[in-house]
Structure 1
Amino acid sequence: MSSFSASQEELDFPLVTVAGVQMKPKVGRKAENLESTLRFIEAAADQGAQLIVLPELSNSGYVFASRKEAFSLAESIPDGPSTQAWLEIAARRNVTIVAGISERDGERLFNSAVVVGPKGLLGTYRKLHLWGDEHLYFEAGDKGLPIFHTEFGRLAVVICYDGWFPEVYRLLAMRGADIVAMPTNWVPMSGQPENTPAMANTLAMANAHSNALNIVCANRVGIERGQAFIGQSLIVGAQGWPLAGPASYDKEEILFANINLKSTRQARSLNVFNHVLRDRRDDIYDPMLGTGWPRPRH
């Protein structure tokens, strides 16, 4: 498990300690997976983490053999056993948790992330952009891009392939997000040259920089039913540079970083002339991308 430290300059302002958990869920072994998540949450809380991010589908595993199997592993929110366990530990350890979960809503399934805090359920995010065989099991998300208001700042969530769409990060920045939690199950990308950063890491860094967002990417490791996962979890600061990681390719571990929210909001000013949100040419394109969300105020 990785450790972290803060400079004296950082300590002059309130910090948020975030943790990204890199773990190895096992498809179909829900009780074992849930126990692993609780063990990692305890370990992260012991080192002072206030926000803890778990991987995509952390309680169920990822590579389903059929929709019937996917349905059997899904849970309702907040009544299911995984969310109930995360609610209990969040209250007991005074932490906020973002956990990937296979969500059942009636006859529909969603690749979701539940957000729980010390005072209870904050909400659910449903993955907007489905990848590969996910189309066989899940519905595309129908809750948009919510902002979760926490005691340490404005939190948003994306899941894995959502991070390939710059519109997502821009809208979250426009809506005032400070930190984006990304539960993910990154897989190898075809055509990647050797000795280059993972495409997912490059995209996270680019989108963090162009929107002044902190992004906590929590990936999984291992091979599941022939599908490899690449690890390399990452925490990126609002200027686009890594604060922790990339993690290893194949080991379970926890990344930690301290985030300064004052510096985060200041990072949108690149210099005395340029601001990454104010400089948008909204005379040329819709500042809110046609979503109907209120026009931002600066």
Structure 2
Amino acid sequence: MRQIVIGAAQMGPNQKSDSREVIVARMVALLEQAAAKGCTLVVFPELALTTFFPRWYMDDQAEVDTWFEDEMPNEATRPLFDRARELGIAISIGYAEKTPDGHHFNTQILTDRQAKIIGKYRKTHLPGHSDYDHDRAFQHLEKRYFEPGDTGFPVWRTQDAIVGMLICNDRRWPEAYRVMGLQGVELVVLGYNTPSVNSQMGSEGLEQRLYHSELSMTAAAYQNATWVVGVAKAGDEDGHPLMGGSIIVDPNGYVVARAETEGDELLVHACDMDLCNFGKETIFDFERHRRIEHYGLITSQTGVVRPA
């Protein structure tokens, strides 16, 4: 049995006024809970270190940059890395990354159990818009503040498993999981910050949002015979509600752990990586069953082209 005891560390809201140090202290508290329950990997949400700042329109780049991290770990996050090293727990964290040459990405990292960064993923599928939208109930300016990720969908071998990462909207795109599936992925970890209401369709509320989020992850887990761990930042951030719904999904698409709150909450499950084997060797044995000669449109075309 190749078992990883995983902690899905859902976080409650980060207010605009909260310092990095205050937020990191909450993350360390979740890490301590995870250690007490035997976890060897803890997954934190997207933009775990800040509020979801793309909900605000900013035209001053200096102001925008205050929400980004120039290095990782840094002074504010070092206590989390130090404690993870002491406890022997690997961590995965989402944050806004500013590179030394001035690029801006929505990023997630993965460490080993000695708190050494072994993997970095940059969000590929950026939702929202780049200019102020008067028709939206609230803004969603990821396309303004971030560049599309340049990493592709890599995987890493760690804790005797093949691990990949996604971020938020990526979870809705089956191509992302399949590229990792073709590399043998056994565990996909992802963080998200998803509003409880659709800014462009107010009738789509929490129940539908949670359903679509869970559907995306459970279907992908089944179709790639992989564990999927989806971790939310949730609750009311400065008057803007984010949904929870953090889950751990097994390789057959079943939810084995689900958050019950919209606050700081730790889900724990002992995930056996060998449970991936049956699906990968039978119905989703890609080498035997895929027919790539018919899939060309997936990589040759972006928008829909309808027949005349």
Q: Do the structures match in fold with TM over 0.5? A: yes
Matches within 5 A, 1:125-204: 125-132=121-128, 133-188=141-196, 189=198, 190=201, 191-192=203-204, 197-204=210-217
Secondary structure of the equivalent of 2:294? coil
Corresponding residue number in structure 1 for 2:272: 260
TM-score by length of 1: 0.84
Q: Deviation at 1:187? A: 1.9
Counterpart Cα distance in 1 of 2:152 and 2:240: 29
1:39 lines up with 2:29 in the alignment = yes
Secondary structure of the equivalent of 1:61? coil
Indicate which of 243, 247, 251 corresponds to 2:256: 243
Q: CA offsets, 1:263-283, max 9 Å, x none?
A: 11222245xxx3352322123
Conserved? CA contact 1:90–1:117, under 8 Å: no
Q: CA offsets, 1:178-201, max 9 Å, x none?
A: 100011112234454786652111
Conserved? CA contact 1:230–1:249, under 8 Å: no
1:88 lines up with 2:82 in the alignment = yes
Gaps of 5+ in 1: 1-12, 291-298
Corresponding residue number in structure 1 for 2:11: 23
CA RMSD of aligned residues (A): 2.3
Q: CA offsets, 1:62-110, max 9 Å, x none?
A: 1254343331131123352355334322321111100011111132221
Corresponding residue number in structure 2 for 1:100: 94
Corresponding residue number in structure 1 for 2:137: none
Gaps of 5+ in 2: 129-140, 301-308
Sort the Cα spacing of 1:125 and 1:86 in 2 relative to 1 into closer, same or farther, 3 A.
farther
Counterpart Cα distance in 1 of 2:29 and 2:16: 18
Conserved? CA contact 2:23–2:49, under 8 Å: yes
Counterpart Cα distance in 1 of 2:169 and 2:207: 22
Paired letter, 1:47: K
Counterpart Cα distance in 2 of 1:146 and 1:16: 20
TM-score by length of 2: 0.82
Counterpart Cα distance in 2 of 1:213 and 1:72: 37
1:122 lines up with 2:122 in the alignment = no
Query: How many percent of aligned residue pairs carry the same amino acid?
Result: 24
Secondary structure of the equivalent of 1:100? strand
Aligned length: 274
